[in-house]
Amino acid sequence: MKLNLKNPIVFFDLETTGINVSADRIVEIGAIKINLDGSEETYKAVVNPEMHIPKKTSEIHGFYDEDVKDCPTFKEIAKKVAKFIEGCDLAGYNSNKFDIPLLAEEFLRVGVDIDMKKRKFVDVQTIFHKKEKRTLEAAYKFYCDKDLTDAHSAEADTRATYEVLMGQLDRYEDLKNDIDYLAEFSSYNKHADFAGRLVYDADGDECINFGKHKGKKVKDILNSDPGYYGWIMQGDFPLYTKKVFTNIKLRSFNK
């Protein structure tokens, strides 16, 4: 089977210093680009995160501070990564909740402002959980009848994720071989930011998805509670979330 593509699609996986999208950094990135003709391109890089890698995290992915101290920083490879994914849709395993938000943070942190929202995102984990509810290792065994012997290696996890999606398309007749459909199917909510702090309502307006103002339109809260914007900007929120709040605020000024 061949993926039915409208744009090239990049399957990618990140190994990081932790699971905090706002604070943690990339240690390794592995990516496979599937072009419209079915040909493949790969990209892999080990990254100096410019911060300590906790021991428990190192024990999972195998990268310790000593291993990455002489590697390039994300700032040094950011433009190369941006060029590799330029014009491509994105796919991964748990990517909508973690890899894509963290990658967006890294780009913003180093001043590479690419428009991630124009892309389609296919989260293979979400498809798997909706269909079978298991781990990546189990998914690989279930759909591909193979053992994932090098789990938590970005390159191995990326390849396994691509193969699992192909296996899912083979197994489920109702799962359309169409990236627009797969992106919609693998999304639980229509997020206005990557971290899910903001969601779109039925009118297409951005609404707050946490705290005391949950369910309320952002534009209404910014009007009724002017200090809320400052609290968001000073808080421990992802840079992309803050960017969306700022865009909404600026939009109200321009009306």
| Domain residue spans of the chain | 9-185, 198-253
pLDDT digits (tens, 9 = 90+) for 35-64: 999 999 999 999 999 999 999 999 999 999
Distance CA 238, CA 209 (A): 14
113: pLDDT confidence band, cut at 50, 70 and 90? confident
Coil, helix or strand at residue 53: coil
CATH C-level class of 9-185: alpha beta
pTM over 0.75? The answer is no
Return the higher-pLDDT residue of 226 and 28.
28
Rg of the chain on CA atoms, in Å: 19
Question: In Å, how far are 154, 197, 216 from 223, measured between CA atoms?
Answer: 44, 19, 12
Give the per-residue pLDDT at 226. Answer: 87
Beta bridge partners of 52: none
Helix, strand, coil proportions of the chain in percent (round to 5)?
Answer: 45, 15, 40
